Structure 1
Protein backbone atom coordinates (compact mmCIF):
# COMPACT_ATOMS: atom_id res chain seq x y z
CA UNK A 1 0.00 0.00 0.00
CA UNK A 2 1.12 3.49 -0.70
CA UNK A 3 1.78 6.06 1.96
CA UNK A 4 -1.16 8.47 2.27
CA UNK A 5 1.24 11.36 2.94
CA UNK A 6 2.27 11.58 -0.71
CA UNK A 7 -1.14 12.97 -1.74
CA UNK A 8 -2.71 15.67 0.41
CA UNK A 9 -6.45 16.17 0.57
CA UNK A 10 -8.31 19.25 -0.62
CA UNK A 11 -8.82 20.33 2.97
CA UNK A 12 -5.07 20.18 3.61
CA UNK A 13 -4.08 22.05 0.44
CA UNK A 14 -6.66 24.84 0.44
CA UNK A 15 -7.68 24.96 -3.20
CA UNK A 16 -6.20 21.46 -3.48
CA UNK A 17 -5.70 19.17 -6.43
CA UNK A 18 -8.39 18.78 -9.05
CA UNK A 19 -8.47 15.06 -8.37
CA UNK A 20 -7.02 12.29 -6.23
CA UNK A 21 -5.13 9.25 -7.53
CA UNK A 22 -6.73 5.81 -7.38
CA UNK A 23 -5.75 3.49 -4.56
CA UNK A 24 -3.05 0.92 -5.12
CA UNK A 25 -4.33 -2.60 -5.79
CA UNK A 26 -5.75 -4.05 -2.60
CA UNK A 27 -3.20 -6.43 -1.11
CA UNK A 28 -4.58 -9.14 1.13
CA UNK A 29 -1.89 -9.39 3.77
CA UNK A 30 -1.54 -9.66 7.53
CA UNK A 31 -1.19 -5.88 7.93
CA UNK A 32 -4.31 -5.05 5.89
CA UNK A 33 -7.65 -4.10 7.47
CA UNK A 34 -10.58 -3.14 5.27
CA UNK A 35 -13.60 -1.03 6.24
CA UNK A 36 -16.47 -0.55 3.79
CA UNK A 37 -19.40 1.84 3.71
CA UNK A 38 -22.57 0.42 2.10
CA UNK A 39 -24.81 2.92 0.27
CA UNK A 40 -22.94 4.72 -2.49
CA UNK A 41 -19.91 2.46 -2.01
CA UNK A 42 -21.04 -1.17 -2.34
CA UNK A 43 -24.50 -0.41 -3.81
CA UNK A 44 -25.86 2.48 -5.84
CA UNK A 45 -27.96 5.00 -3.94
CA UNK A 46 -31.70 4.68 -4.62
CA UNK A 47 -34.57 7.14 -4.25
CA UNK A 48 -35.85 5.09 -1.30
CA UNK A 49 -33.52 3.18 1.07
CA UNK A 50 -35.56 0.00 0.56
CA UNK A 51 -35.17 0.19 -3.22
CA UNK A 52 -31.41 -0.35 -3.43
CA UNK A 53 -30.34 -3.16 -5.73
CA UNK A 54 -27.86 -5.51 -4.08
CA UNK A 55 -25.77 -7.41 -6.64
CA UNK A 56 -26.34 -11.13 -6.30
CA UNK A 57 -22.62 -11.73 -5.84
CA UNK A 58 -22.05 -9.05 -3.18
CA UNK A 59 -22.68 -11.12 -0.01
CA UNK A 60 -20.29 -13.78 -1.30
CA UNK A 61 -17.61 -11.21 -2.11
CA UNK A 62 -17.88 -9.70 1.39
CA UNK A 63 -17.66 -13.14 3.01
CA UNK A 64 -14.70 -14.16 0.82
CA UNK A 65 -12.81 -10.97 1.63
CA UNK A 66 -13.46 -11.38 5.35
CA UNK A 67 -12.16 -14.94 5.20
CA UNK A 68 -9.09 -13.99 3.16
CA UNK A 69 -8.34 -11.15 5.59
CA UNK A 70 -8.88 -13.49 8.56
CA UNK A 71 -11.62 -11.31 10.01
CA UNK A 72 -9.95 -7.94 9.42
CA UNK A 73 -12.97 -6.56 7.52
CA UNK A 74 -15.93 -4.55 8.77
CA UNK A 75 -18.97 -2.90 7.25
CA UNK A 76 -19.45 0.62 8.60
CA UNK A 77 -22.79 2.05 7.54
CA UNK A 78 -25.40 4.63 8.36
CA UNK A 79 -27.99 1.87 8.13
CA UNK A 80 -28.89 -0.19 11.16
CA UNK A 81 -27.38 -3.66 11.45
CA UNK A 82 -30.86 -5.15 11.05
CA UNK A 83 -31.39 -3.24 7.81
CA UNK A 84 -28.03 -4.38 6.45
CA UNK A 85 -28.81 -8.02 7.20
CA UNK A 86 -32.21 -7.70 5.57
CA UNK A 87 -30.44 -6.65 2.37
CA UNK A 88 -27.35 -8.86 2.56
CA UNK A 89 -28.55 -11.83 4.56
CA UNK A 90 -26.80 -13.00 7.74
CA UNK A 91 -23.06 -12.42 7.41
CA UNK A 92 -20.48 -13.39 10.01
CA UNK A 93 -18.49 -10.21 9.56
CA UNK A 94 -17.86 -7.26 11.84
CA UNK A 95 -20.45 -4.50 11.42
CA UNK A 96 -20.94 -1.00 12.76
CA UNK A 97 -24.45 0.26 12.02
CA UNK A 98 -26.27 3.55 12.58
CA UNK A 99 -23.08 5.50 11.80
CA UNK A 100 -21.26 3.59 14.51
CA UNK A 101 -23.93 3.69 17.20
CA UNK A 102 -24.29 -0.09 16.87
CA UNK A 103 -21.08 -2.11 17.15
CA UNK A 104 -20.88 -5.85 16.51
CA UNK A 105 -17.58 -7.72 16.18
CA UNK A 106 -17.37 -10.79 13.95
CA UNK A 107 -18.34 -14.11 15.46
CA UNK A 108 -21.06 -12.78 17.74
CA UNK A 109 -24.70 -11.74 17.60
CA UNK A 110 -24.26 -9.31 20.47
CA UNK A 111 -24.57 -5.65 19.51
CA UNK A 112 -22.79 -3.18 21.78
CA UNK A 113 -23.95 0.45 21.75
CA UNK A 114 -21.38 3.19 21.26
CA UNK A 115 -24.00 5.85 21.94
CA UNK A 116 -27.16 6.39 23.95
CA UNK A 117 -30.50 5.80 22.25
CA UNK A 118 -32.10 8.68 20.37
CA UNK A 119 -34.95 10.34 22.31
CA UNK A 120 -38.36 9.53 20.80
CA UNK A 121 -39.33 13.20 20.81
CA UNK A 122 -36.67 13.96 18.18
CA UNK A 123 -38.27 11.50 15.77
CA UNK A 124 -41.70 12.93 16.60
CA UNK A 125 -40.65 16.53 15.87
CA UNK A 126 -38.97 15.68 12.58
CA UNK A 127 -41.84 13.43 11.52
CA UNK A 128 -44.32 16.26 12.09
CA UNK A 129 -42.17 18.62 10.03
CA UNK A 130 -41.78 16.05 7.26
CA UNK A 131 -45.54 15.43 7.03
CA UNK A 132 -46.22 19.16 6.82
CA UNK A 133 -43.66 19.63 4.04
CA UNK A 134 -44.56 17.15 1.32
CA UNK A 135 -44.62 14.04 3.50
CA UNK A 136 -40.87 13.51 3.21
CA UNK A 137 -39.46 10.09 4.05
CA UNK A 138 -38.37 9.81 7.69
CA UNK A 139 -36.03 6.93 8.58
CA UNK A 140 -35.78 6.32 12.35
CA UNK A 141 -32.76 4.33 13.53
CA UNK A 142 -31.67 3.27 17.01
CA UNK A 143 -29.19 6.13 17.40
CA UNK A 144 -30.23 8.60 14.72
CA UNK A 145 -33.07 9.75 12.51
CA UNK A 146 -32.77 10.69 8.84
CA UNK A 147 -35.08 12.80 6.69
CA UNK A 148 -34.76 12.25 2.94
CA UNK A 149 -35.61 15.36 0.92
CA UNK A 150 -34.69 14.10 -2.58
CA UNK A 151 -38.23 14.70 -3.88
CA UNK A 152 -38.75 17.93 -1.92
CA UNK A 153 -35.64 20.11 -2.37
CA UNK A 154 -37.73 23.20 -1.67
CA UNK A 155 -38.08 22.03 1.94
CA UNK A 156 -34.34 21.89 2.60
CA UNK A 157 -33.94 25.35 4.14
CA UNK A 158 -36.73 24.77 6.64
CA UNK A 159 -35.57 21.21 7.33
CA UNK A 160 -32.05 22.36 8.14
CA UNK A 161 -33.37 25.10 10.42
CA UNK A 162 -35.58 22.63 12.30
CA UNK A 163 -32.80 20.05 12.52
CA UNK A 164 -30.27 22.62 13.75
CA UNK A 165 -32.68 23.75 16.47
CA UNK A 166 -33.25 20.16 17.61
CA UNK A 167 -29.53 19.44 17.52
CA UNK A 168 -28.93 22.41 19.83
CA UNK A 169 -31.81 21.52 22.17
CA UNK A 170 -30.94 17.83 22.47
CA UNK A 171 -27.12 17.96 22.14
CA UNK A 172 -27.11 16.01 18.86
CA UNK A 173 -24.88 16.02 15.82
CA UNK A 174 -26.32 17.13 12.49
CA UNK A 175 -25.12 15.40 9.34
CA UNK A 176 -26.09 16.66 5.88
CA UNK A 177 -25.47 13.90 3.35
CA UNK A 178 -26.66 13.13 -0.16
CA UNK A 179 -30.26 14.41 -0.22
CA UNK A 180 -30.61 13.55 3.46
CA UNK A 181 -30.42 15.42 6.77
CA UNK A 182 -29.72 13.30 9.82
CA UNK A 183 -29.55 13.88 13.56
CA UNK A 184 -27.33 11.47 15.47
CA UNK A 185 -26.42 10.86 19.08
CA UNK A 186 -22.91 11.84 20.25
CA UNK A 187 -20.56 8.87 19.88
CA UNK A 188 -22.51 7.58 16.89
CA UNK A 189 -20.04 8.35 14.12
CA UNK A 190 -17.88 6.32 11.77
CA UNK A 191 -14.64 7.66 13.18
CA UNK A 192 -15.54 6.33 16.63
CA UNK A 193 -16.48 2.98 15.06
CA UNK A 194 -13.14 2.66 13.26
CA UNK A 195 -11.27 3.54 16.45
CA UNK A 196 -13.24 0.91 18.39
CA UNK A 197 -12.52 -1.76 15.78
CA UNK A 198 -8.82 -0.92 15.67
CA UNK A 199 -8.60 -1.44 19.43
CA UNK A 200 -9.65 -5.06 19.01
CA UNK A 201 -6.98 -7.81 18.82
CA UNK A 202 -7.85 -8.91 15.26
CA UNK A 203 -7.24 -5.39 13.93
CA UNK A 204 -4.26 -4.46 16.11
CA UNK A 205 -1.13 -3.43 14.24
CA UNK A 206 -2.84 -3.26 10.84
CA UNK A 207 -3.04 -0.47 8.27
CA UNK A 208 -6.73 0.40 7.87
CA UNK A 209 -8.37 1.33 4.58
CA UNK A 210 -11.83 2.86 4.57
CA UNK A 211 -13.99 3.30 1.47
CA UNK A 212 -16.89 5.74 1.62
CA UNK A 213 -18.74 8.21 -0.56
CA UNK A 214 -20.65 10.68 1.59
CA UNK A 215 -19.82 13.53 3.95
CA UNK A 216 -20.88 11.23 6.79
CA UNK A 217 -17.78 9.18 5.94
CA UNK A 218 -15.47 12.11 6.62
CA UNK A 219 -15.42 11.27 10.35
CA UNK A 220 -13.73 8.00 9.39
CA UNK A 221 -11.41 9.60 6.85
CA UNK A 222 -10.18 12.09 9.45
CA UNK A 223 -9.15 9.50 12.04
CA UNK A 224 -7.37 7.24 9.57
CA UNK A 225 -4.00 8.96 9.57
CA UNK A 226 -3.60 8.71 13.34
CA UNK A 227 -4.61 5.06 12.96
CA UNK A 228 -1.92 4.53 10.33
CA UNK A 229 -4.19 4.18 7.31
CA UNK A 230 -6.00 6.22 4.69
CA UNK A 231 -9.38 6.80 3.09
CA UNK A 232 -10.70 6.18 -0.40
CA UNK A 233 -13.42 8.51 -1.64
CA UNK A 234 -15.98 6.82 -3.90
CA UNK A 235 -17.73 8.95 -6.51
CA UNK A 236 -17.20 12.46 -7.89
CA UNK A 237 -14.34 14.57 -6.59
CA UNK A 238 -15.15 16.97 -3.75
CA UNK A 239 -13.46 18.47 -0.72
CA UNK A 240 -12.43 15.52 1.43
CA UNK A 241 -9.95 14.20 3.98
CA UNK A 242 -9.49 11.07 1.84
CA UNK A 243 -6.26 10.61 -0.10
CA UNK A 244 -7.39 8.28 -2.89
CA UNK A 245 -10.49 8.04 -5.07
CA UNK A 246 -12.46 5.48 -7.06
CA UNK A 247 -14.98 6.92 -9.52
CA UNK A 248 -18.06 4.84 -8.72
CA UNK A 249 -19.56 1.69 -7.21
CA UNK A 250 -18.57 -0.41 -10.24
CA UNK A 251 -14.93 0.58 -9.74
CA UNK A 252 -15.13 -0.52 -6.09
CA UNK A 253 -16.44 -3.93 -7.15
CA UNK A 254 -13.65 -4.28 -9.72
CA UNK A 255 -11.03 -3.28 -7.13
CA UNK A 256 -12.30 -5.83 -4.61
CA UNK A 257 -12.67 -8.59 -7.20
CA UNK A 258 -9.10 -8.04 -8.42
CA UNK A 259 -7.82 -8.50 -4.86
CA UNK A 260 -9.68 -11.79 -4.51
CA UNK A 261 -8.39 -13.05 -7.87
CA UNK A 262 -4.82 -12.22 -6.93
CA UNK A 263 -5.24 -13.87 -3.55
CA UNK A 264 -6.75 -17.02 -5.06
CA UNK A 265 -3.91 -17.27 -7.56
CA UNK A 266 -1.32 -16.90 -4.81
CA UNK A 267 -3.08 -19.65 -2.87
CA UNK A 268 -2.91 -21.90 -5.90
CA UNK A 269 -6.67 -21.99 -6.47
Structure 2
Protein backbone atom coordinates (compact mmCIF):
# COMPACT_ATOMS: atom_id res chain seq x y z
CA UNK A 1 0.00 0.00 0.00
CA UNK A 2 1.50 3.32 -1.06
CA UNK A 3 1.02 6.12 1.45
CA UNK A 4 1.98 9.77 1.61
CA UNK A 5 2.96 11.29 4.94
CA UNK A 6 2.04 14.85 5.87
CA UNK A 7 3.13 17.08 8.73
CA UNK A 8 0.40 18.64 10.87
CA UNK A 9 1.92 20.59 13.75
CA UNK A 10 3.81 18.10 15.89
CA UNK A 11 2.02 15.14 14.34
CA UNK A 12 2.48 13.11 11.17
CA UNK A 13 -0.52 11.67 9.34
CA UNK A 14 -0.67 9.28 6.40
CA UNK A 15 -3.10 9.06 3.50
CA UNK A 16 -3.41 6.38 0.85
CA UNK A 17 -2.18 7.82 -2.41
CA UNK A 18 -5.41 6.64 -4.07
CA UNK A 19 -7.37 8.88 -1.69
CA UNK A 20 -5.57 11.99 -2.96
CA UNK A 21 -6.58 13.92 -6.07
CA UNK A 22 -4.13 16.83 -5.83
CA UNK A 23 -2.22 19.06 -3.44
CA UNK A 24 -1.91 22.80 -3.89
CA UNK A 25 -0.45 25.74 -2.00
CA UNK A 26 -2.91 27.36 0.40
CA UNK A 27 -3.31 31.00 -0.64
CA UNK A 28 -5.96 31.96 1.92
CA UNK A 29 -8.50 32.41 -0.89
CA UNK A 30 -11.33 30.24 0.41
CA UNK A 31 -14.97 31.27 0.51
CA UNK A 32 -16.14 31.33 4.11
CA UNK A 33 -19.57 30.09 5.14
CA UNK A 34 -21.40 30.14 8.50
CA UNK A 35 -20.57 26.93 10.33
CA UNK A 36 -20.18 25.73 13.92
CA UNK A 37 -17.29 23.39 13.11
CA UNK A 38 -14.12 25.18 14.27
CA UNK A 39 -11.97 23.16 11.87
CA UNK A 40 -14.00 24.26 8.82
CA UNK A 41 -12.12 27.13 7.17
CA UNK A 42 -14.01 27.59 3.91
CA UNK A 43 -14.94 26.29 0.48
CA UNK A 44 -12.73 25.92 -2.58
CA UNK A 45 -14.21 25.66 -6.07
CA UNK A 46 -12.13 22.70 -7.18
CA UNK A 47 -12.81 20.90 -10.50
CA UNK A 48 -16.05 22.91 -10.66
CA UNK A 49 -17.09 21.29 -7.39
CA UNK A 50 -17.52 23.40 -4.22
CA UNK A 51 -15.25 21.47 -1.84
CA UNK A 52 -15.20 22.09 1.93
CA UNK A 53 -11.74 22.59 3.43
CA UNK A 54 -10.89 21.69 7.01
CA UNK A 55 -7.85 22.48 9.12
CA UNK A 56 -6.36 19.17 10.33
CA UNK A 57 -4.28 21.05 12.91
CA UNK A 58 -7.42 22.07 14.77
CA UNK A 59 -8.79 18.54 14.62
CA UNK A 60 -5.63 16.73 15.70
CA UNK A 61 -3.88 19.32 17.88
CA UNK A 62 -6.68 21.50 19.18
CA UNK A 63 -5.43 24.59 17.38
CA UNK A 64 -4.10 25.44 13.93
CA UNK A 65 -0.41 25.67 13.14
CA UNK A 66 -1.02 29.26 12.10
CA UNK A 67 -2.37 30.04 15.56
CA UNK A 68 0.57 28.29 17.20
CA UNK A 69 2.98 30.27 15.03
CA UNK A 70 1.28 33.55 15.91
CA UNK A 71 1.58 32.71 19.60
CA UNK A 72 5.28 31.90 19.23
CA UNK A 73 5.88 35.15 17.33
CA UNK A 74 4.07 37.14 20.01
CA UNK A 75 6.20 35.51 22.70
CA UNK A 76 9.42 36.28 20.83
CA UNK A 77 8.43 39.89 20.20
CA UNK A 78 7.39 40.31 23.82
CA UNK A 79 10.70 39.02 25.16
CA UNK A 80 12.74 40.99 22.66
CA UNK A 81 11.02 44.22 23.65
CA UNK A 82 11.21 43.28 27.32
CA UNK A 83 14.98 42.75 27.19
CA UNK A 84 15.47 46.06 25.41
CA UNK A 85 13.48 47.86 28.12
CA UNK A 86 15.34 45.94 30.82
CA UNK A 87 18.72 46.97 29.43
CA UNK A 88 17.67 50.61 29.11
CA UNK A 89 16.70 50.66 32.80
CA UNK A 90 19.91 48.87 33.77
CA UNK A 91 22.02 51.36 31.84
CA UNK A 92 20.34 54.25 33.64
CA UNK A 93 20.82 52.55 36.98
CA UNK A 94 24.53 52.04 36.37
CA UNK A 95 25.36 55.45 34.92
CA UNK A 96 23.24 57.85 37.00
CA UNK A 97 24.34 58.88 40.45
CA UNK A 98 22.24 58.04 43.52
CA UNK A 99 20.15 55.54 41.59
CA UNK A 100 19.56 52.11 43.04
CA UNK A 101 20.80 49.35 40.77
CA UNK A 102 17.99 47.02 39.76
CA UNK A 103 18.81 43.95 37.65
CA UNK A 104 15.27 42.52 37.82
CA UNK A 105 16.51 38.97 38.29
CA UNK A 106 12.98 37.53 38.14
CA UNK A 107 12.47 38.82 34.61
CA UNK A 108 15.85 37.45 33.53
CA UNK A 109 15.10 34.07 35.07
CA UNK A 110 11.74 33.92 33.30
CA UNK A 111 13.38 34.65 29.97
CA UNK A 112 15.94 31.90 30.58
CA UNK A 113 13.11 29.46 31.34
CA UNK A 114 11.31 30.58 28.15
CA UNK A 115 14.10 29.79 25.71
CA UNK A 116 15.26 26.66 27.54
CA UNK A 117 11.78 25.13 27.59
CA UNK A 118 10.77 26.29 24.10
CA UNK A 119 9.61 23.26 22.12
CA UNK A 120 8.96 23.00 18.41
CA UNK A 121 8.97 20.29 15.75
CA UNK A 122 10.80 22.74 13.46
CA UNK A 123 14.41 21.57 13.78
CA UNK A 124 15.87 24.80 12.38
CA UNK A 125 13.86 26.91 14.82
CA UNK A 126 14.82 24.64 17.73
CA UNK A 127 18.49 25.03 16.78
CA UNK A 128 18.12 28.82 16.83
CA UNK A 129 16.48 28.78 20.25
CA UNK A 130 19.28 26.65 21.68
CA UNK A 131 21.77 29.33 20.63
CA UNK A 132 20.23 31.88 23.02
CA UNK A 133 22.01 30.39 25.99
CA UNK A 134 25.59 31.46 25.23
CA UNK A 135 25.02 35.22 24.64
CA UNK A 136 22.50 35.39 27.48
CA UNK A 137 24.94 33.87 29.98
CA UNK A 138 27.61 36.24 28.68
CA UNK A 139 25.22 39.17 29.20
CA UNK A 140 24.61 38.12 32.82
CA UNK A 141 28.33 37.84 33.53
CA UNK A 142 29.08 41.25 32.05
CA UNK A 143 26.12 42.76 33.89
CA UNK A 144 27.49 41.50 37.22
CA UNK A 145 30.87 43.02 36.43
CA UNK A 146 29.24 46.33 35.50
CA UNK A 147 27.24 46.35 38.75
CA UNK A 148 30.40 45.70 40.75
CA UNK A 149 32.26 48.50 38.97
CA UNK A 150 29.33 50.83 39.61
CA UNK A 151 29.40 50.03 43.33
CA UNK A 152 33.11 50.94 43.28
CA UNK A 153 32.18 54.22 41.54
CA UNK A 154 34.36 53.24 38.56
CA UNK A 155 32.34 55.03 35.88
CA UNK A 156 34.91 54.46 33.14
CA UNK A 157 34.80 50.70 33.65
CA UNK A 158 31.01 50.75 33.85
CA UNK A 159 30.88 52.47 30.48
CA UNK A 160 33.14 49.81 28.94
CA UNK A 161 30.93 47.01 30.22
CA UNK A 162 27.78 48.70 28.93
CA UNK A 163 29.32 49.11 25.49
CA UNK A 164 30.43 45.48 25.60
CA UNK A 165 26.86 44.33 26.31
CA UNK A 166 25.44 46.49 23.52
CA UNK A 167 27.95 45.42 20.88
CA UNK A 168 28.18 41.74 21.79
CA UNK A 169 25.65 39.75 23.82
CA UNK A 170 22.65 42.06 23.33
CA UNK A 171 23.33 42.36 19.60
CA UNK A 172 23.66 38.57 19.30
CA UNK A 173 20.40 38.08 21.15
CA UNK A 174 18.59 40.51 18.84
CA UNK A 175 19.96 38.68 15.80
CA UNK A 176 18.69 35.39 17.21
CA UNK A 177 15.27 36.92 17.87
CA UNK A 178 15.07 38.10 14.25
CA UNK A 179 16.29 34.75 12.93
CA UNK A 180 13.71 32.86 15.02
CA UNK A 181 10.85 35.10 13.87
CA UNK A 182 11.96 34.80 10.25
CA UNK A 183 12.18 31.01 10.53
CA UNK A 184 8.61 30.79 11.84
CA UNK A 185 7.30 33.05 9.07
CA UNK A 186 9.21 31.48 6.18
CA UNK A 187 8.77 27.86 7.24
CA UNK A 188 4.98 27.95 7.30
CA UNK A 189 3.79 27.19 3.76
CA UNK A 190 0.61 25.17 4.24
CA UNK A 191 -0.99 23.13 1.51
CA UNK A 192 -4.46 21.79 0.83
CA UNK A 193 -4.77 18.08 0.14
CA UNK A 194 -7.86 17.43 -1.97
CA UNK A 195 -9.18 13.96 -1.22
CA UNK A 196 -11.60 11.71 -3.06
CA UNK A 197 -13.90 8.78 -2.38
CA UNK A 198 -14.25 7.54 -5.95
CA UNK A 199 -10.92 8.50 -7.50
CA UNK A 200 -12.27 11.39 -9.55
CA UNK A 201 -14.65 13.57 -7.54
CA UNK A 202 -13.38 15.89 -4.78
CA UNK A 203 -14.56 14.93 -1.29
CA UNK A 204 -12.91 17.32 1.18
CA UNK A 205 -9.81 19.46 1.31
CA UNK A 206 -7.46 19.03 4.27
CA UNK A 207 -5.11 21.81 5.36
CA UNK A 208 -1.71 20.42 6.37
CA UNK A 209 1.67 22.01 7.01
CA UNK A 210 3.80 20.17 4.48
CA UNK A 211 4.39 16.96 2.54
CA UNK A 212 6.89 14.66 4.23
CA UNK A 213 7.48 11.62 1.98
CA UNK A 214 5.77 8.73 0.29
CA UNK A 215 6.36 5.15 1.34
CA UNK A 216 5.08 1.62 0.81
CA UNK A 217 3.65 -0.26 3.78
CA UNK A 218 2.42 -3.78 4.14
CA UNK A 219 -0.81 -4.57 5.95
CA UNK A 220 1.09 -6.08 8.88
CA UNK A 221 3.05 -2.82 9.31
CA UNK A 222 -0.17 -0.95 10.16
CA UNK A 223 -1.28 -1.52 13.73
CA UNK A 224 -5.01 -1.20 14.50
CA UNK A 225 -6.06 1.34 17.11
CA UNK A 226 -9.13 -0.43 18.47
CA UNK A 227 -7.40 -1.57 21.67
CA UNK A 228 -5.80 1.82 22.23
CA UNK A 229 -9.02 3.77 21.85
CA UNK A 230 -11.14 1.56 24.10
CA UNK A 231 -9.09 1.77 27.31
CA UNK A 232 -9.86 5.25 28.54
CA UNK A 233 -8.31 7.59 25.99
CA UNK A 234 -10.48 10.69 25.61
CA UNK A 235 -10.62 10.94 21.84
CA UNK A 236 -13.54 12.83 20.35
CA UNK A 237 -15.80 10.71 18.10
CA UNK A 238 -14.94 12.65 14.95
CA UNK A 239 -11.20 12.09 15.36
CA UNK A 240 -11.59 8.49 16.50
CA UNK A 241 -13.84 7.76 13.53
CA UNK A 242 -11.26 8.81 10.95
CA UNK A 243 -8.24 6.96 12.39
CA UNK A 244 -7.44 3.65 10.75
CA UNK A 245 -4.09 2.62 12.21
CA UNK A 246 -0.67 3.45 13.57
CA UNK A 247 2.46 3.28 11.42
CA UNK A 248 5.99 3.07 12.83
CA UNK A 249 8.34 5.62 11.32
CA UNK A 250 12.05 6.04 12.00
CA UNK A 251 11.73 7.88 15.32
CA UNK A 252 7.99 8.20 15.87
CA UNK A 253 4.61 7.11 14.55
CA UNK A 254 2.18 8.30 11.93
CA UNK A 255 -1.59 7.98 12.14
CA UNK A 256 -3.26 6.57 9.05
CA UNK A 257 -6.53 8.36 8.41
CA UNK A 258 -9.45 7.64 6.11
CA UNK A 259 -10.61 10.92 4.50
CA UNK A 260 -13.95 9.38 3.53
CA UNK A 261 -14.77 9.03 7.24
CA UNK A 262 -13.65 12.51 8.26
CA UNK A 263 -16.55 14.71 9.35
CA UNK A 264 -19.02 11.87 9.06
CA UNK A 265 -21.91 12.27 11.51
CA UNK A 266 -21.27 10.60 14.84
CA UNK A 267 -24.24 8.32 14.28
CA UNK A 268 -22.47 6.92 11.22
CA UNK A 269 -19.36 5.91 13.17
CA UNK A 270 -20.40 2.28 13.45
CA UNK A 271 -21.19 2.13 9.73
CA UNK A 272 -17.75 3.52 8.93
CA UNK A 273 -16.11 0.92 11.13
CA UNK A 274 -17.96 -1.79 9.22
CA UNK A 275 -16.63 -0.32 6.00
CA UNK A 276 -13.00 -0.76 7.06
CA UNK A 277 -12.72 -3.81 4.84
CA UNK A 278 -13.67 -1.68 1.85
CA UNK A 279 -10.90 0.72 2.83
CA UNK A 280 -8.45 -2.07 2.26
CA UNK A 281 -6.92 -2.50 5.73
CA UNK A 282 -8.50 -4.82 8.23
Give the TM-score normalised by the residue count of structure 1.
0.24
| Structure with the higher fraction of residues in helix conformation | 2
Kindly indicate whether structure 1 or structure 2 has the higher relative contact order, using CA contacts under 8 Å at least 6 residues apart.
2
Structure of larger gyration radius: 2
Normalization by structure 2: what TM-score?
A: 0.23
